[in-house]
A and B are shown apart, each in its own frame.
Chain A
Amino acid sequence: MPHLGSLLRVARRLTVESASAEDLVQETMLLAWRGFHGFQTGTNARAWLFRILFNAFYAEGRKAQRAPLPVATVVEARLQEAVEIREALQALPIEQRTVLLLCVVEGFTCREAGEILNVPIGTVMSRLSRGRQELRGRLAPTRMKAPKAMEAKGAVG
């Protein structure tokens, strides 16, 4: 099933718990299945699916996750930075987090993200800028200085 992983990844960063994320993606795929006649051939199917996902998310009034995801007590050192970044991302306001997920992680352009979220491109760009700025502030200074060393060891990814 195409794009399922991307949808679930973003849904997990939107919802309170992973079960809700799976419900959201399941609902998204069912809505897409039922509304497939509304999809215009030749347009971006991935963006269409994400638009359905966000519509479903907001329509249901799902609670955005604010609390950090639970972190395992023993985390391998090489994964710790990834966990911290995910936690910092999770602590961002949902508008900024959403734009970062779409543009930075999923690779949508600002225009595509604007269409998915139904907001002007200028709004996407300002949310992206504020999101990056806030993320920098939330990440520990040591982590901000260490990426190259960690990446060199293959620590991230």
Chain B
Amino acid sequence: MTDDELDQRVRAAVLSEQIDTARLEHSIRARIRRPRAPRRAFVAAAGVVLAAAGGLAAYRTFFRPQVPLICVAAAQDHQREIVNGEPRPWLSDISAIQSLAEKQGVPASAVTALGTTGYRLERARLCFLKKQIFLHLVYTKNNAEYSVYLRRPSGLFNDSVRGEETLAYFETSRVTAVFASHGADALAFARAGARVL
């Protein structure tokens, strides 16, 4: 049998099969008219975003990282000594403050560096926060008072500025720093301070 003969028989055999396309055509037309369903990938992506948002909200609600206790102590100290004005002995001479800083392992240049950020150094003293000694500096800007607690690097925090508006903290290779205020933007001061310390 030649190729042509074989082809003819194959063609005839296949074409003899009954093909009913009416039902198929009907369902295709129905699907074309139907609004296109959102793509699975889009639905999956939306699901992931929603789950992430939910997870973040839950994390913020239930597992929000605690403010380090040392910062809580700093805020309480600021409340007592600056807001309430409880009497304490203070140094106001810049040379004396720098000398005090050096004795505590805080570079004297750190004290003046903070003064270059638009905040004015008013006074200083030593204080204890959770049994750790800190140099407590008080700066002012626009009639608001800010407490800055410095000590030599202690590994308490990591290097990025953290916290919130009235209580912020960070650590550099030169100092550990906590910034506190009462109704003023301590976080902005901390960010400016992190750039110069």
Contacts and interface: CB of A to CB of B under 8 A. Distances in A.
Contact of A1 (B9, B23, B25): B25
A6 to B, nearest CB: 9
A147 B5 contact: yes
Interface in B1-53: 1, 3, 5-7, 9-17, 19, 21, 23-25, 27-29, 31-32
Contacts of A4: 21, 24-25, 28
Interface residues of A, number: 32
B17 A147 contact: no
Contacts of A84: 13
Nearest to A1: B25
A136 B6 CA distance: 8
B7 A26 contact: no
A33 B1 contact: no
Main secondary structure of the interface of B (DSSP, over half): helix
A100 B16 contact: no
A105 B15 contact: yes
Interface in A130-157: 132, 135-136, 144, 147, 156-157
B3 to A, nearest CB: 6
Given A33-B32, A132-B3, A26 B27 contact: yes
Please give me the 8 A-B residue pairs with the lowest Cβ-Cβ distance, nearest first.
Answer: A85-B13, A82-B13, A156-B12, A157-B12, A4-B21, A104-B7, A29-B28, A105-B14
